[in-house]
Amino acid sequence: MKKDVKKKKNITLYVVIPCYNEEAVLSETTKRLKEKLEKLIKQKVVSTDSRVMYVNDGSRDKTWELIEKIHKEEQLFTGLCLSRNRGHQNALLAGLMTAKNYADVVISMDADLQDDIDAIDEMIEKYNTGSDIVYGVRSARKEDTWFKRITAEGFYKFMSKMGVDIVYNHADYRLTSRRALNYLENYKEVNLFLRGMFPLIGFSSDVVYYERKQRFAGESKYPLKKMLSFAWDGITSFSIRPIKLVLTLGVVIFFISILILLYSFIVKLLGYTVPGWTFTICSIWIVAGLEMLSLGIIGEYIGKIYNEVKARPRYIIARNLNEEEEK
Ligand code: UDP
Ligand code: MG
């Protein structure tokens, strides 16, 4: 009970926005977010310490100058500048890890406001009723091109087939409590795929549905090539299923090779062969089968090394009644 009351107090919200060459959208984004944040402050949903934090990801245009200017003119806006371009996921992590020092909850979103900012209210509501992570989920992609829609949705399905636990149709529009972000800090991996990491943290979570809009200005920073490499990164950073497939293949080929071995001996005994045939066929299948099998076994060990190297936390404690009593 005590906890609920604590959570209902005026919370400090930080909205973290990675920006790469976004000079075309920043002033409009600032205008819309200012309105939104002022409204939330007026309604006493969030505190006056709440801010929008732009993270400049080594832009080559005037993005950083613009962020500095906005920060000077607008009290509710602040900025972070990375030393160089490190990519969307790294920029986002930099923003989240910095914002958690000032905020109770952090919402991440893109600079182009393709994600509906009116979903923020519902996200905060869900936080207030006890969720540590609230995922923004795209209910419709009417305005995406059919190509983007099919590739994106195929990606989510393929990921779950590969054993990666991600929220369907959720990108990086989400609310996270400071507590969850403190635990995110313990995930030391360098190949970041943030939307796969939050489900690993656990705690109670919820989803908020919204319609994804079109980018109102500027170009997408995720062309097909980047999207593919992001998807590939997601799979190889979270799943050792591809390695396990090699082992399965190895076992199957090994058994086929035994059958071929029997078959070629029978053919030889019946005398239907030319000299050398049995030997050639047997060597090909035995060697191929053993090779695939060994590769699979080596893969298993590499898979284990991969998991050890990640050094992810093995558990996170959500509540400890012993500690709560002391308070
Ligand atoms: N972004 C970034 N660094 C990069 C590429 C992109 O910080 O190297 C940011 C970009 O400014 C935007 C967000 O990541 O705020 C998502 O990019 P975009 O909207 O272009 O992707 P899309 O919505 O087309 O998938
Ligand atoms: Mg976008």
Each residue's pLDDT tens digit, 134-187: 999 988 767 777 887 888 888 888 888 888 888 888 889 999 999 999 999 999
**Top-confidence residue, 321 or 273:** 273
pLDDT at residue 218, rounded to an integer = 84
User: Which residues are CB-contacts of 257 (< 8 A; sequence separation ≥ 6)?
Assistant: 285, 286, 288, 289
Q: What is the average pLDDT value for the chain, to the nearest integer?
A: 88
Segment (H or E) for 261: helix 241-269
State the Cα–Cα distance between residues 39 and 184, nearest whole angstrom.
30
Closest among 167, 148, 266, 158 to 212, alpha carbons compared: 148
Query: Which amino acids bring their CB within 6 angstroms of ligand 1?
Result: 18-20, 22, 57, 85, 87-88, 91, 110-112, 114, 220-222
Q: What is the mean pLDDT of residues 262-283?
A: 84
Quick: pLDDT tens for 224-246.
888 888 888 888 888 888 888 88
State the Cα–Cα distance between residues 177 and 124, nearest whole angstrom.
10
pLDDT band at 109 (very low <50, low <70, confident <90, very high): very high
CA of 217 to the centre of ligand 2 (A): 10
Percent of the chain with pLDDT over 70: 94
Asked if 307 contacts 240 with a C-beta cutoff of 8 angstroms, the reply is yes
The ligand placed nearest to the CA atom of residue 114 is 2
Asked if 135 contacts 168 with a C-beta cutoff of 8 angstroms, the reply is no
Residue nearest atom 8 in ligand 1 by C-alpha distance: 87
pLDDT at residue 163, rounded to an integer = 81
Give the CA distances from residue 162 to residues 199, 229, 240, in Å, rounded to whole numbers and listed in that order: 15, 16, 8
Burial class (CB in 10 A: 0-12, 13-18, 19+), 210: buried
Kindly tell me if the per-residue pLDDT of 5 is higher than 50. no
Residue type, 96: L
pLDDT at residue 49, rounded to an integer = 95
Q: Is 265 left (phi over 0), alpha (psi -120 to 50) or beta?
A: alpha
Segment (H or E) for 205: strand 205-211
State the Cα–Cα distance between residues 207 and 170, nearest whole angstrom.
9
pLDDT at residue 8, rounded to an integer = 53
State the Cα–Cα distance between residues 144 and 198, nearest whole angstrom.
25
